């Protein structure tokens, strides 16, 4: 919320910067902002019948605020470990935001997986441990609760406290850490938490939904501001379409981004955001030893077998794990001959490492190493079927298809037009091709490098296409066509006499 206000103030400062006077028929320009020339265009011109114009600054400001709002609010990273450094925390946040920016449909898949599992966790917990299952309140009920005193039952503390979807999200985020002898021992997924509760090794958590909402950095005001900004941007795009005014490439890019991120935001509505520390769950003195979990027989990744996994054994002295890429490359170097290693296996491993964050999003059952104190970056409990991938694939296709709006737009060069059109085609068809390749990798053979190579190539081409449309949109806004700068005449859309 604070960063959003800082960005607004920064853009306001740019708007207030002094600029040279301009003539009515020719726009004046201010210095570049992030490589984009912010020009001051005429408010109106007699040659255009009093038609109002907007400035490049107005376009850039609206798009940047919308993109920043979507990225910042849609990124709901898991909780960091108790010993993670500032750099580790910031790196995980930045990687999550980059994934939202480069592949929002992949983040939608992660959000859907967590949401489905959160509902399942809440249902199973209430059936086994809660005194009475708490019914999920509708959106209208939540609005009414904001204007009336809460019932007495919401203030109850003790065993048998019913869980909601928010609790299910909190567990998958790594919200509960088992403490033994005053120090963190391991993060608890739901299976491990359920096992300890059955063995009476821990007390039932008494945290309520209001407690979790209080830990979240996303309050109702910040959510409302983000939704208003996104809604206003979409309304502007619809208004321009109603008056047959073209959109700039940057606006088309932002519109596609906003549509998918609204879906992500809706799915993650009940998920706490920005929680920095997990809750302590002390281990009770039960017998001589605590129940042990079989980590390596559960939580195994099978849908995308080539996904890098941190299964390297920790060093006895430093307790640090070797990187997946280095260990796998050493193994391949010993197993394959010179030409096979350098021409096939090494490139695939490098590309797979680069695509690792996106690959982990589509992997079910990511393993939890014994003794780990935080969840994997894109962890979601349980397994999911390949039929579940239809929803994010459809949204991914919609995301790419929205870029087709600028198919006939004016571009600075013919090369830019060709790159934009080819990139939008890739963005439209790639989601289904990527998931088909991932499915074939899991069905055929984990060692079959044909489908593995296809998966890596499609993923790399998709990321390149996504970067291409971003760069072209920023370049095209330097010199937008005159019709792009025409403003919407809202009086024609409003009822009047």
Between CA 373 and CA 279 the distance in angstroms is 12
Determine the angle formed by the axes of helices 390-402 and 414-443, rounding to 10 degrees: 170
Counted residue by residue, the chain has a size of 497
Q: What is the pTM of this model?
A: 0.74
- Cα 488 to the chain's mean position, in Å? 32
Question: pLDDT by residue for the chain (497 residues), tens digit each?
Answer: 444 444 454 444 444 443 433 343 334 444 454 444 544 444 444 445 556 888 888 899 889 888 888 887 777 888 988 888 888 888 888 888 888 888 888 888 888 889 999 999 999 999 988 876 666 666 677 777 778 787 777 777 777 788 999 999 999 999 999 999 889 999 999 999 999 999 999 998 888 888 888 888 766 677 778 888 888 888 888 988 888 889 999 999 999 988 888 888 888 888 888 888 889 999 987 554 555 555 444 443 434 444 444 433 333 333 344 455 666 777 776 777 777 776 766 776 666 666 666 556 655 555 666 778 888 888 887 666 666 678 888 888 999 999 999 998 888 889 999 999 999 999 999 888 877 776 666 665 545 566 667 767 787 888 889 889 999 999 888 888 888 888 887 645 555 34
CB atoms within 10 A of CB 75: 23
CA angle 218–224–227, rounded 5-degree value: 105
Between CA 271 and CA 298 the distance in angstroms is 25
Between CA 365 and CA 32 the distance in angstroms is 47
Q: Residue 443: its pLDDT value, please?
A: 61
């Amino acid at each position: 919320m604070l960063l959003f206000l800082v960005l607004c103030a920064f853009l306001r400062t740019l708007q207030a910067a002094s600029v040279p006077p301009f003539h009515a028929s020719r726009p004046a320009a201010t210095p570049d902002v992030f490589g984009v020339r912010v020009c001051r265009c005429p408010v109106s011109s007699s040659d255009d019948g009093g038609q109002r114009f907007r400035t490049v600054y107005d376009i850039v400001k609206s798009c940047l605020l919308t993109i920043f709002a979507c990225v910042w609010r849609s990124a709901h990273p898991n909780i960091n470990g108790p010993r993670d450094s500032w750099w580790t925390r910031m790196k995980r946040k930045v990687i999550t935001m980059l994934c939202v920016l480069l592949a929002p449909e992949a983040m939608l898949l992660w959000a859907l997986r967590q949401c489905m599992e959160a509902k399942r966790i809440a249902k199973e917990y209430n059936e086994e441990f809660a005194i009475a299952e708490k019914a999920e309140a509708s959106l209208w009920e939540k609005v009414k609760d904001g204007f009336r005193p809460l019932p007495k039952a919401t203030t109850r503390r003790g065993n048998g406290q019913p869980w909601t979807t928010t609790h299910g999200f909190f567990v998958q985020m790594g919200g509960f850490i088992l403490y033994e002898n005053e120090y963190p021992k391991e993060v608890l997924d739901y299976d491990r938490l359920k096992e300890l509760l059955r063995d009476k090794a821990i007390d039932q958590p008494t945290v309520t939904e209001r407690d979790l909402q209080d830990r979240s950095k996303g309050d109702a005001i910040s959510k409302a501001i983000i939704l208003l900004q996104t809604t206003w941007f979409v309304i502007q795009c619809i208004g321009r379409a109603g008056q047959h005014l073209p959109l700039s490439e940057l606006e088309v890019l932002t519109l596609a981004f906003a549509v998918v991120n609204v879906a992500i935001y809706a799915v993650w509505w009940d998920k706490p955001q920005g929680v920095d520390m997990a809750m302590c769950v002390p281990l009770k003195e039960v017998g001589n030893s605590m129940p042990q979990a079989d980590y390596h027989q559960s939580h195994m990744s099978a849908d995308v077998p080539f996904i890098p996994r941190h299964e390297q054994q920790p060093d006895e002295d430093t307790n640090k794990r070797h990187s997946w890429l280095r260990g796998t490359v050493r193994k391949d170097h010993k197993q394959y001959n010179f030409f096979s290693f350098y021409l096939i296996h090494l490139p695939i491993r490098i590309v797979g490492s680069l695509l690792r964050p996106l690959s982990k999003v589509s992997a079910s059952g990511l393993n939890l190493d014994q003794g780990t104190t935080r969840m994997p970056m894109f962890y979601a409990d349980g397994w999911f079927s390949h039929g579940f991938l239809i929803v994010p694939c459809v949204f991914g296709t919609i995301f790419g298809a929205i870029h087709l709006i600028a198919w006939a737009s004016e571009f600075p060069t013919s090369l830019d037009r060709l790159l934009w059109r080819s990139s939008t085609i890739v963005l439209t068809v790639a989601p289904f091709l990527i998931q088909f390749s991932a499915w074939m990798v899991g069905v055929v053979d984990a060692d079959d490098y044909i489908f593995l190579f296809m998966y890596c190539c499609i993923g790399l081409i998709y990321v390149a296409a996504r970067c291409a449309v971003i760069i072209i949109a920023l370049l095209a806004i330097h010199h937008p066509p005159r019709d792009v700068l025409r403003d919407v005449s809202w009086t024609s859309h409003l009822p009047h006499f």
